Structure 1
Amino acid sequence: MLLGSPLSFGALIAKATESEAENLKVIPIGSEGSLTWSTEVRLRYDAHENRFLKENQDDRQSLFRGILGADLRLNPNLRILSEVGAAHVDRNRRLAPPNFENEASLQQLFIEARGSTGSALVGVMIGRQEFSDGPRQLISLSDGPNLHRTWNGVRVYANDSRCRLSGYDLRITRLERGSFDERMDKDERISGLNASFIISPEGEADILVDPFYIQSENPQFRSGKNLGLDERHTLGIRTWGRHDDLRFDWTLALQKGTFMSRRVQAWGVFATQSLTLSQEGWQDPRCHGALVWAAHGDIFSRRLGHYRNWKHAFAGRD
């Protein structure tokens, strides 16, 4: 068979290479199972000038993240996922925390079982896993450092086409700088309930309302010069989605609990929004509205005996 041009030959080679790579990436196991490999490499460069508002207090740093993952699906209802990560920086390595400089860490290792009941998908995830279910101002993966924050425990969920329910009980992972020397910290934990409901009519852009409840415990929480046990209950509601050219994400939350035996009363309001200026072009140009983060943050009140200090539960730098 003669090929019409070098371009056709190159396209054929590219297609064959892509097919071979796909065969290496996804390996069939039996009649229903498969093993899927995944990799992630991130290079990032940070530059800070006049840090802490001090002249010539400049900082430069290159960051590297490498992740190797394997997803073993035994059948459509059962899978095991694992990920190993490495992290490096180019300067001040001895001073870098373990989520920036790390030889090797078991980032995720969990088993997930799921099935259908009626129109709903229900499931459970047990083991070490990433978690960011809720407003990013409260809980996030902490994507700025090289390695994400991970948790150990159980999550359950139930989804259908217009609503989602989930619950969780998790303990944080403490990283060290060596190889596979991280540990689960049983004392610091989060648990809670989340729900999500699509309130926009069928066929229109989704607008969602997400009520949530988060309970957090941290025996080593620091606020200013104070260090001690912090127990908080955060109850809130998030509304987010798109209406015509407007995208929005608004959250209102209330916090109660105790910090070093003092009662906590606090609240927070977070709002981001953007407006699409044109539907044409490679990327739709947008006008981003103000990022509003307001929180009740009064100092300790001797008269009331309350500690009014908002806590961003497990939000990380981006």
Structure 2
Amino acid sequence: TIGNFGLGVRYGRQEFTDGPSNLVSQKDNNTIHTSVQGLRAWGQTGDVRADIFDFKQVTLGTQGLSDDVADDKTRFSGATFGLVLANSATRKVFLDPFAWRERNDSLKWGRVTGREVRNYYGARLWGSLDRLTLDWTVDHQSGTFAGHDISAWNAFIAQTYVIDPKHWKPKVGIHFDFGEGGGSYGSGTLHVAKAPFAGTIAY
């Protein structure tokens, strides 16, 4: 802690979950969690925080204690921010914008294996407004794959409403996930949306 700022830095093998779980997750439903290797630094003051990072994916081996190595053919870097929009007894709302870059030198789409550089630009709006709980994430993805442009969208929309705030507190809710697709077998723009390392199941 320095004055009104909380600062931190972490280097080495670690788990990273600072973003929407639909896009980044440690995959805690699996026996072995997803891990990355690299640098992460963060800062927070008042109602604003920032997290910057630069990682490589970790390839898991089966030959012993020293065979889980950082994959130089991959890179995941960027920044995630956090803004407190409301923080009271009945309203707690947060906005988390993010800008990420992911590189994979040997990714396969359709029949082609090549280098992909993908940029993620989006935000997560989440929290509660009295009886309403919401969790919305939207992102656009751009970049290139094997000489082709990338343009794709993701949207993850979930909200619940408490019908009766007393007694058993029953809720009704809507959960909607959208991921754009197309272009994997064509010669034009790739429209397939993806996630760096999201959870493999949704609740």
Using the size of structure 1 for normalisation, the TM-score is 0.58
Once the 2 structures are TM-superposed, how far is the Cα of residue 247 of structure 1 from its aligned partner?
A: 0.9
The 5-angstrom pairing of residues 226-305 of structure 1 reads 226-280=112-166, 284-289=169-174, 291-299=175-183, 302=187, 305=188
Q: Which has the larger radius of gyration?
A: 1
Confirm or deny that 1:317 pairs with 2:203.
no
Corresponding residue number in structure 1 for 2:59? 174
Once the 2 structures are TM-superposed, how far is the Cα of residue 151 of structure 1 from its aligned partner?
A: 0.7
1:286 alignment partner AA? K
Q: What SS class does the counterpart of residue 141 from structure 1 fall into? A: coil
Corresponding residue number in structure 1 for 2:24? 139
**C-alpha contact 2:73 2:106 (8 A) present in aligned 1:** no
The 5-angstrom pairing of residues 116-195 of structure 1 reads 116-180=1-65, 181-195=67-81
**Greater relative contact order: 1 or 2 (C-alpha under 8 angstroms, separation 6 or more)?**
2
User: Greater shift after overlay, 176-185 or 229-238?
Assistant: 176-185
**C-alpha contact 2:50 2:82 (8 A) present in aligned 1:** yes
Stretches of structure 2 lacking an aligned partner (at least 5 in a row):
none
| Structure-2 change in CA distance of 1:171 and 1:271 (3 Å) | same
**C-alpha contact 2:76 2:102 (8 A) present in aligned 1:** yes
User: Greater shift after overlay, 262-271 or 219-228?
Assistant: 219-228
State the distance in 2 between where 1:316 and 1:188 align: 19
Any idea what the Cα deviations from partners look like across 1:266-317, whole Å, max 9, x if unmatched?
A: 1111111112234446x7543231x212222232565xx3222112222131
State the distance in 1 between where 2:88 and 2:45 align: 14
**C-alpha contact 2:131 2:165 (8 A) present in aligned 1:** no
State the distance in 1 between where 2:90 and 2:16 align: 29
Once the 2 structures are TM-superposed, how far is the Cα of residue 117 of structure 1 from its aligned partner?
A: 2.1
**C-alpha contact 2:156 2:176 (8 A) present in aligned 1:** yes
Once the 2 structures are TM-superposed, how far is the Cα of residue 133 of structure 1 from its aligned partner?
A: 0.9
State the distance in 2 between where 1:314 and 1:158 align: 24
Using the size of structure 2 for normalisation, the TM-score is 0.89
Structure with bigger helix share is 1
**C-alpha contact 2:90 2:130 (8 A) present in aligned 1:** no
Q: How many corresponding residue pairs?
A: 199
**C-alpha contact 2:54 2:76 (8 A) present in aligned 1:** yes
1:131 alignment partner AA? F
1:128 alignment partner AA? R
State the distance in 1 between where 2:8 and 2:161 align: 37
| Structure-2 change in CA distance of 1:261 and 1:142 (3 Å) | same
Once the 2 structures are TM-superposed, how far is the Cα of residue 263 of structure 1 from its aligned partner?
A: 1.0
State the distance in 2 between where 1:196 and 1:176 align: 36
CA RMSD of aligned residues (A): 1.9
| Structure-2 change in CA distance of 1:204 and 1:275 (3 Å) | closer
2:13 alignment partner AA? R
Once the 2 structures are TM-superposed, how far is the Cα of residue 205 of structure 1 from its aligned partner?
A: 2.9
**C-alpha contact 1:255 1:266 (8 A) present in aligned 2:** yes
Once the 2 structures are TM-superposed, how far is the Cα of residue 148 of structure 1 from its aligned partner?
A: 0.6
**C-alpha contact 1:143 1:317 (8 A) present in aligned 2:** no
1:310 alignment partner AA? A
1:190 alignment partner AA? F
Once the 2 structures are TM-superposed, how far is the Cα of residue 128 of structure 1 from its aligned partner?
A: 0.6
Once the 2 structures are TM-superposed, how far is the Cα of residue 251 of structure 1 from its aligned partner?
A: 1.3
2:76 alignment partner AA? I
